Amino acid sequence: MKKGDIILILLILLVAGSAFGIYRAFTGSGGGEAVVYVDGEEEGRYSLNEDQTIEINGGTNTLVIENGSASMEKADCPDQVCVRHSAISRNGESIICLPHEVVVSIEDGESSGADAVVQ
């Protein structure tokens, strides 16, 4: 590689890193709510701005809200798919525990943009 190629690659990396940093600086957690549904019925709404631990469905699932995101910390189902799911914080994201019919969905939060519908 020539000296000019290295400079070009470094310049591209610098611009990409700067753009990513600016994007992350201006996008927050969204300040939405984690809405918990059990068996299709709304169980509760919890602010993502307040760190808390919520026992769901008589303790079968444990939802943890911290640092503006929600994650399923514990579930007594055999597959543990909901526990392995990444934390959610953007509008429309959800964690689903099929064995216990628990759905945790983010509402009124920041739009993710990736799954938006253009009208």
pLDDT tens per residue, range 22-77: 876 665 545 689 999 999 999 999 999 999 999 998 889 999 999 999 999 999 99
CB burial of 43-75 (b: ≥16 within 10 Å; e: otherwise) equals beebebeeeeebebbeebbbbebeebbbbbebb
User: DSSP H helical segments within the chain, as ranges?
Assistant: 3-26, 81-84
Beta bridge partners of 41: 38
Residue 20 pLDDT: 85
Q: Is the pTM of this model over 0.85?
A: no
Residue pair 82/72 in contact by the 8 Å Cβ criterion: yes
- Band of residue 21 on the pLDDT scale cut at 50, 70, 90: confident
